[in-house]
Structure 1
């Protein structure tokens, strides 16, 4: 059964380009190394340019568990440390309706 998540991420103002570049690399790693990831899209809040959301869909919970543990994901996520993020992501599961 497919599982979905919506992650909200707050970025330090002025670091949006750094965040977007690092996330683009992370998306490449996810696409290349996580076949169970069906969707991994980055969205930016229109009212607050420091707020991003990631919409994630996985084939099943096992694919979701692979996502955060893959070496490629970890390496691609590393640049998001170092003063880019304004806090920890808020990740919530979402239920498919239609």
Structure 2
């Protein structure tokens, strides 16, 4: 059964361009290197300034676990910490069809 993830990220004022640069690169690395990842897209809210959401879809729990253990995901942690305006909100979803 597939697993969906919606990660809501709020960024400090003036840090959007910096965040978009490294988050977009992270998304490219995920799509290029993780066959168990079906979708990994950075999106920006139309109504809430400085709010972004990663829309992610994995074939199964093993693929999601693998994603969290990759070197490039771990390396992104300090970059995220430097621009965040609060803790990310992460919602996990189970595929139904």
Scaled by the length of structure 2, the TM-score of the pair is: 0.88
Structure 2 unaligned regions, length at least 5: none
Task: Report the Cα distance in structure 2 between the residues aligned to 1:88 and 1:65, rounded to whole angstroms.
Answer: 20
Q: Is the 8 A contact 1:29 1:76 kept in 2?
A: no
2:42 — aligned with what?
42
Where in structure 2 are the equivalents of 1:78-89 lying within 5 Å? Answer: 78-82=78-82, 84-89=83-88
What is the count of residue pairs matched by the alignment? 97
Q: Following the alignment from structure 1 to structure 2, what is the Cα–Cα distance between the partners of residues 97 and 75?
A: 33
1:28 pairs with 2:25: no
How far did residue 46 of structure 1 move? 0.9
The offset of 1:14, in angstroms, is 1.0
Shift in Å at residue 4 of structure 1? Answer: 0.5
TM-score when normalising by structure 1: 0.88
**Contact between 2:2 and 2:94, CA under 8 Å: does it hold in 1?**
no
Q: Secondary structure at the match of 2:41?
A: strand
